[in-house]
Amino acid sequence: MKMNRKNSPHHALEDVFGFTSIHHPLPDGRELTSRSRPGKGPALILIPGTWGDLESWTPLITRLPPEQPITVIELFWQGGRPLVDGPLDIPALADAVLQVIAALRQGPFVLGGISLGGMITVEIAGRNPPDMVGAIPMEGWTHHTVVETAFHGLVRTPLEPDRQEEQSAARNRRLAHLSAEQQRLIRTIWKRWNGMDALRRAKAPIIHVWGDRAQPRPGPEALQIPERPNITIAWIAGSSHLLLIQAPDALARTVRDLLIHAGA
């Protein structure tokens, strides 16, 4: 593990949040970065969506108690990191995230992720790591066909023009260091996985968070989520796949509820 503050592309945000970055070399020659702050209670470990990073979690982090320990684990291509050759599928990404969690030795944790990060959260939940006391997949499809079975193809609802411009600029900034072919490969990750078995195996409490797109809310079958006593579906009214942008207050309340239940 290599600690780094001054050379982090997010050092300004790290200073604001009280985070420290650690670079984690993995056995396959690749590297992940964790950005953490200490606190009291189970750690909240967050996995960004496809084009996310530490910055993308700002709307949630700023709405959580300052004493809440938080770690953001950025994926192989995030935070401006060049993409090194290696497996790019959800099981392999889950393997890498679990290696970082083991290296951090934080004890009990709640795992959360949005979009692709939500799928990785589901994959890890199905492996039942010993210190995981809860999971919060946020808009983490069980299978890519959920887009149609549950939402009739509607992923995002429109943002106001100024917010859309800001969101597009942030997205473009986060993928500017990647080639067109690398972007294409990353975009296909979510279509090569099915999380149903992972959800059936998971033992920890899971809150599956969805935006209802201001439409009638589909049931578990359409969401392809098995009905089990440890899985709860939480709906955020009027929001869509862009939960962090459209409904950060409601999302933060849901996260805080699970942290309280987990003993934070």
- Distance from C-alpha of 144 to C-alpha of 29, rounded to nearest angstrom: 30
Residue whose pair of structure tokens reads 């030795």 in the numeric block:
105
Q: What is the CATH number of the domain that holds 105?
A: 3.40.50.1820
Expressed as residue numbers, the domain containing 240 is 2-259
pLDDT at 10: 59
User: Does some domain include residue 181?
Assistant: yes
Contact status, residue 108 vs residue 133, Cβ threshold 8 Å: yes
pLDDT at 15: 81
Split into its structural domains, the chain has a count of 1
Contact status, residue 170 vs residue 53, Cβ threshold 8 Å: no
Q: Cβ neighbours of residue 144 under 8 Å, at least 6 residues apart?
A: 190, 191
User: Does some domain include residue 197?
Assistant: yes
- Residue 208: name the closest of 228, 189, 185 by CA: 228
Contact status, residue 43 vs residue 110, Cβ threshold 8 Å: yes
The number of beta carbons lying within 10 Å of the beta carbon of residue 128 is 12
User: Does some domain include residue 264?
Assistant: no
- Distance from C-alpha of 40 to C-alpha of 263, rounded to nearest angstrom: 10
User: Does some domain include residue 123?
Assistant: yes
Q: Cβ neighbours of residue 106 under 8 Å, at least 6 residues apart?
A: 36, 43, 45, 69, 71, 131
User: What string of pLDDT tens digits covers the 264 residues of the chain?
Assistant: 655 544 445 567 788 888 999 999 999 999 999 999 999 999 999 999 999 999 999 999 999 999 999 999 999 999 999 999 999 999 999 999 999 999 999 899 999 999 999 999 999 999 999 999 999 999 999 999 999 999 999 999 999 999 999 999 999 999 999 999 999 999 999 999 999 999 999 999 999 999 999 999 999 999 999 999 999 999 999 999 999 999 999 999 999 988 887 764
CA angle 151–152–153, rounded 5-degree value: 90
User: Does some domain include residue 80?
Assistant: yes
User: Does some domain include residue 157?
Assistant: yes
Contact status, residue 121 vs residue 45, Cβ threshold 8 Å: no
Q: Cβ neighbours of residue 166 under 8 Å, at least 6 residues apart?
A: none
User: Whole-structure pTM over 0.85, yes or no?
Assistant: yes
Write out the DSSP string of 41-100.
SSEEEEE--TT--TGGGHHHHTTS-TTS-EEEEE-TT-TTPPPPSS--SHHHHHHHHHHH
Q: Cβ neighbours of residue 211 under 8 Å, at least 6 residues apart?
A: 139, 157, 235, 236, 238, 239, 240, 241, 242, 243, 246, 247
Q: At what angle do helices 116-125 and 90-104 cross, to 10 degrees?
A: 70
